[in-house]
Homo-oligomer: A and B are copies of this chain.
Amino acid sequence: MAERFRVTYRIFAGDKGEARARALAVALEQTAEIPQDVVPEGHVRDEILGRVEMLLPEATGRFRATISYSPDSVGPDLGQLLNVIFGNSSIQTGLKVVGLELGATLSARFRGARFGARGLRELTGKAQGGLVCPVIKPMGLPTADLADTAYRVALAGADIVKEDHGLANQPTAPFRVRVPAIADAVARANARRRADGDGSRALYFANLPRGGGDLLADARFAREAGADGLLVIPGLHGFDAIRTLATDPGLTLPVMAHPSFLGPHVLSENTGFSHAMIFATLMRLAGSDISIFPNFGGRFGFSRDECASIVDGCRCANGPGRPILPSPGGGMSIDRMPELRALYGEDCVYLLGGGLLRLGERIGDGVREMVAALA
């Protein structure tokens, strides 16, 4: 017997009667999507139709409604699961997705991250301490310069060397030229680290520029070229792009997700998803091993509490799938490390962005300093 999954929504309504009517409308909209009186008897009415399981007041004008849905309304595909959770209802204000319980049936169908936090750490060979991840940029530099920076930061002890999400397929550093060059640079740095007795290594994550039918071709090329992981932008290419990469039997590379283009899903109070839902729950559900999100106190407006909720969502034991690594970026300066370390702890990928580039050829010093601060 299939176990129904449960989605919790925050509903903005004047009173409980209005909230109940809204919850019933959502249960209908997300499934049969036809007027109530037209819903066919039998399977559609008894099983497919969403059911309002719980409705509680949360604050003045705000309610929490839990609606259960049938796994048979979803089938095998992640896109359709998201469609049931928030498809058409995303176009109506006064509704925010704040919780998801997959239940046994869908948990067996969507297994989450291939590596997860523990697997990723094993790949780096670093037993403890925060993971340090400099970002290779900016766009517009030639491949040789980007590869040179990658070599320096990898040699200095970076755990992950990540391409900027804006390094796509520009003429100055085309994907099929750049990825082999940076993979080679990072491999050379790793060889020197190994020769120096370092038991850990830098993993190189290549940014995939294309979605649609070209996603897997680019991912396979990156793997062949020596990349250790894949960076993908679900806001541009869909959460299904993560799922494709995380489940393809031939790839077996860890996946890192970037928050670009996802902002409107969290920035508005009365539509979209909670921060933890987008940057933890959906990332885990789709199969990402690392979830990048904007750090508090940087140039993005996330609060400390919102960041903490994302971290909790990435780490909690009850899924979806394995715990994964949160990865805050923006405002990650060395002088803020005590404060940031207090919140983010060890199982975290600390992104180091443009500030590091200020060091020029001494960029390795900045990485070493950060590795020490997080040891």
Contact = CB atoms under 8 A, between A and B. Distances in A.
Contact of A83 (B72, B89, B140, B165): B165
A213 B212 CA distance: 7
Contacts of A40: 138, 140-141
A193 interface: no
Contacts of A199: none
A222 B284 CA distance: 31
The copy count of this chain in the complex is: 2
Interface string A254-287: 0000011111111110011000000000000000
Nearest to A169: B75
Interface string A34-64: 1101111001100110000000000000000
A79 B210 contact: yes
Interface in A168-184: 168-172, 174
B90 A262 contact: yes
A131 interface: no
Nearest to A36: B354
Contact of A216 (B43, B91, B165, B212): B212
B259 A353 contact: no
Contacts of A263: 89-92, 271-272
A37 B358 contact: yes
A240 interface: yes
Interface string A234-266: 011111110111001000000000011111111
A72 B236 CA distance: 19
Nearest to A354: B34
A240 B92 contact: no
Contact of A140 (B72, B166, B300): B72
A140 B212 contact: no
Nearest 9 Cβ contacts at the A-B interface: A34-B354, A212-B244, A90-B263, A48-B140, A91-B263, A80-B168, A211-B240, A268-B268, A87-B260
Interface of A: 25, 29, 31-35, 37-40, 43-44, 47-48, 72-77, 79-80, 82-84, 86-93, 137-141, 164-166, 168-172, 174, 209-216, 233, 235-241, 243-245, 248, 259-268, 271-272, 294, 299-301, 353-355, 357-358
